[in-house]
Amino acid sequence: MKKLTVLMIIVLFVGLLFAGCNNLTTPEPIDEIGTGIVTKGLYGVFDLTGYNSDIVNSVMASYDHPSEIVSYMASHFTKVTNHSSAWSPEQFLRYKWGDCNDFSTYAIYCAYKTAGMPKDNIYQVYLKYDNGKYHMLALFALYPTFPEFNYGYSSNKYYYHESGFYNWVECVKHHDTKTTANVEWAKLYSYDLDFMQKWYF
C-alpha cells in the first residue's frame, strides 16, 4: 500500500510538471497593497510597467545572471498549478509559491532590476499546448551583456541556454522537447507586456 501511494504521488507530480499550467485568461485583479497596480488580462501576468520593489532588489542583489536567478527560485519557491492570481515579485518572494506566470515574471524582473540586463533584451513567452493548456517562459537575449550565449530561457525552476539558441523560436522549440504535450503556438511579449510576434509550430 505504501509503495502504491508513493507511485501515485510521483505520477501526479510528473503529470503536473509536464502538462502545462492552468487555462485562465482573465485573472482577478490584484492591488499591490494599495498602490493601484493591477494585472493585465494576459494569462494573469503581473504588469511590471513602472513596478519596483526594494525588498526584492535587496534579496536578489547578488544574483547577476538569469541562471543564478532561476537557481534561487528553484531552491526557494514551490510551483503550484492553477493558481488563480498573479503575484507581484514581492508577493511571490513573500509567499514562496506560484504558477508559471509568477516564475517568469519574477525571473524577468530580477534580470532587469538586479542583474542589470537591458529591458529590451528581456521577454515573456506565452504558449499554448495541443492539450489545451497554456504556459509562460521567461526569455533572455543574453548577448552582449553575457556574451557566452545568444539566448536563454527559463521554465518555472529550470534554466536553459545553448549555443544553438539564435532567436526566441529556437528556445521554444527546445522547450517543446522537454514536455509531453506539443506547442501549437507561442506569442512573444516585451518586458512591459507589449505584444511583439506570434509563431505557429
What per-residue confidence (pLDDT) applies to 32?
36
Per-residue model confidence (pLDDT) at position 185: 95
pLDDT (0 to 100) of residue 145 = 80
- How many other CB atoms are found less than 10 A from the CB of residue 181? 16
Cα angle value 21/177/147 (rounded, 5°): 100
pLDDT tens digits, residue range 83-102? 667 889 999 999 999 999 99
Whole-number Cα distances in Å, 138 to 13, 99, 201:
22, 13, 19
Is domain 42-200 in CATH 3.40.50, yes or no?
Answer: no
Average pLDDT (97-123) is 95
pLDDT tens-digit profile of 7-43? 444 433 334 344 456 533 333 333 333 344 433 446 5
Domain coordinates in residue numbering, the chain: 42-200
- Per-residue pLDDT of 119-167, as tens digits, reads 999 999 999 999 999 999 999 999 888 877 799 999 999 999 987 799 9
Q: Return the pLDDT at 20.
A: 59
- Alpha-carbon span 42 to 114, nearest angstrom: 25
CA distance 40 to 83: 16
Q: What is the rounded average pLDDT of the residues 196-201?
A: 94
129/97 Cα distance (integer angstroms): 23
Whether 129 and 181 have beta carbons less than 8 Å apart is answered as yes
